[in-house]
């Protein structure tokens, strides 16, 4: 009898708890030299000295967590999101967090962890048939950037960077940890695509499509292009 009472208490406690939650948005804005990138009908405007056009930008955000003084204070459950620049809705991740949550940093993984990569087929964001999973070897593409530039010496001047894979030594997953100085309700994250492309000489390197040394070196640059817009 006493036990049942306890359960009742727990139950009412949890509904109490539920009432004190709020929604918070984590939003991403891809930019090129501070100009925001928009893709309409598979084409963007022309950017930068190399006349770059972006035709696709997709990446996985997983394991979103908030930190306060280096301690985890909130972790999103089942946290897997596919961000696709062509799908405006996907650029905003709504999170339900405790009303009184205080945090000084946000953390997420860019890509999919090895356990999930080996678990088999999923629906939703992790659906392996949505173009973010390699077909000829196992592994998610963590970050996909495609576009054109007249300096790429190939057919249609296209560049394609598919960075992903989870197997050592080429585990390309990147942990991104961003300090929030004035955590307001929503968190806006800028992705400086120009800074990523600055690392690459497009006239030499225009195609990386598998997990290898070159891909790993490039992936390691990715955390530096994410920053909080205060």
Query: Which residues lie near another protein (CB under 8 A)?
Result: 1-4, 117-123, 127-130, 133, 135-138, 167, 169-170, 212-213
- Output 71 or 136, the one with its CB closest to another protein: 136
- Tokens found for residue 192: 């400086």
Say how far residue 172 (Cα) sits from the centre of its chain: 13
Cis omega (within 30 of 0) for bond into 169: yes
- Output 13 or 122, the one with its CB closest to another protein: 122
- Output 89 or 129, the one with its CB closest to another protein: 129
**At its nearest, how many Å lie between another protein and the CB of residue 136?**
5
- Output 48 or 131, the one with its CB closest to another protein: 131
Q: How far, CA to CA in Å, does 72 sit from each of 18, 102, 104, 211?
A: 20, 11, 10, 31
Q: Determine the Cα–Cα distance for residues 9 and 32; give it in Å rounded to an integer.
A: 54
- Output 44 or 171, the one with its CB closest to another protein: 171
Q: Which residues of 146-178 are buried (b: 16+ CB within 10 A; e: fewer)?
A: bbbbebbeeeebebbbbbbbbeeebbbbbebee
Q: What's the sign of the alpha-carbon dihedral 143, 149, 151, 152? A: positive
**At its nearest, how many Å lie between another protein and the CB of residue 78?**
14
DSSP 114-156: HHHHTS---SGGG-TTSSSB-SSSS-BEEEEEEEE-TTS-SGG
**At its nearest, how many Å lie between another protein and the CB of residue 15?**
21
- Output 98 or 128, the one with its CB closest to another protein: 128
**At its nearest, how many Å lie between another protein and the CB of residue 1?**
5
Q: In which residue are the tokens 């997953």 written?
A: 173
Which residues, listed in sequence order, are joined to residue 178 by a DSSP beta bridge?
106
**At its nearest, how many Å lie between another protein and the CB of residue 118?**
5
**At its nearest, how many Å lie between another protein and the CB of residue 108?**
24
């Amino acid at each position: 009898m006493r036990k049942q009472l306890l359960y009742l208490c727990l139950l009412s406690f949890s509904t109490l708890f539920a009432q004190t939650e709020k929604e918070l948005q984590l939003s991403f804005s891809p930019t090129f030299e501070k100009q925001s990138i928009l893709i309409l009908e598979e084409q963007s405007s022309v950017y930068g000295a190399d006349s770059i056009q972006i035709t696709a930008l997709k990446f996985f955000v997983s394991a979103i967590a908030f930190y306060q003084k280096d301690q985890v204070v909130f972790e999103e459950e089942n946290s897997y999101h596919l961000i696709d620049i062509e799908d405006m809705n996907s650029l905003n991740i709504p999170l339900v967090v405790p009303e009184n949550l205080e945090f000084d940093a946000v953390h997420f993984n860019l890509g999919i962890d090895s356990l999930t990569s080996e678990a088999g087929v999923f629906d939703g964001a992790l659906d392996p048939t949505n173009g973010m999973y390699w077909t000829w070897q196992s592994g998610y593409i963590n970050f996909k950037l495609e576009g054109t530039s007249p300096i790429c010496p190939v057919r249609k001047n296209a560049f394609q960077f598919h960075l992903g894979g989870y197997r050592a030594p080429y585990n390309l997953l990147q942990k991104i940890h961003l300090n929030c100085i004035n955590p307001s309700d929503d968190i806006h994250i800028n992705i400086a695509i120009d800074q990523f492309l600055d690392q690459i000489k497009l006239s030499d390197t225009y195609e990386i499509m598998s997990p290898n040394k070159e891909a790993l070196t490039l992936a390691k640059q990715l955390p530096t292009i994410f920053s909080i817009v205060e």
